[in-house]
A and B are shown apart, each in its own frame.
Chain A
Amino acid sequence: NAGVTQTPKFQVLKTGQSMTLQCAQDMNHEYMSWYRQDPGMGLRLIHYSVGAGITDQGEVPNGYNVSRSTTEDFPLRLLSAAPSQTSVYFCASSYSVLAGGRDTQYFGPGTRLTVL
């Protein structure tokens, strides 16, 4: 298994540009989520999905859009990038069932985004 993969690893955008951060997992996990990590702020939840076709907002959803058309993929869209969205973005996934520790969240390697 490749686990949780994210692309790209690095991205530089200009203010106002749009882009999509890709996240995929091959573990048949139902739950997927996006976090952003800023210095001294820990990780903050942006959006999450409890299964294909179902998404919901986290703590800091403004300026981001998500969709979940398949179990494997959970892309994060920046509609009009702003300097405040400069951050490291992590995707995570976990099983849906609390059984034998199967709800562990597995994180991807991250995407480092800079908005000029």
Chain B
Amino acid sequence: GENVEQHPSTLSVQEGDSAVIKCTYSDSASNYFPWYKQELGKGPQLIIDIRSNVGEKKDQRIAVTLNKTAKHFSLHITETQPEDSAVYFCAASKSSGGSNYKLTFGKGTLLTVNP
């Protein structure tokens, strides 16, 4: 089955700096790669996703890049703010029957943004 590795496990940055979290996946058939943010005591919330026919996607301060050849994808957060502090999870899945419901998650990155 799919295996997703996520690095680093913890990341501490100063407010205003950029943060980068990297993930690799094992199944070359995977074609959907979402990123989730989880705040303390809450469920994961989708912040951005990318499909295998796209190399990069950006949404304001957040961007995701995908390298299908190397089987890795990354989350980039620019101009970090204290409210960006949370645990971030990457995930991968194969589109099957039109839906990406079987997600395989990385183990998470605890991001701390210091004021």
Contacts and interface: CB of A to CB of B under 8 A. Distances in A.
B71 interface: no
B100 interface: yes
Contacts, number: 75
B115 interface: no
Nearest to B46: A104
Size category, B interface: 20 to 34
Contact of A98 (B43, B46, B99): B99
Interface of A: 4, 30-31, 33, 35, 40-45, 48, 50, 58-59, 90, 94-98, 101, 103-110
Which 6 pairs of residues, A with B, have the shortest CB-CB distance? A107-B43, A42-B105, A31-B101, A42-B107, A43-B105, A98-B98
Nearest to A101: B49
Interface in B68-87: none
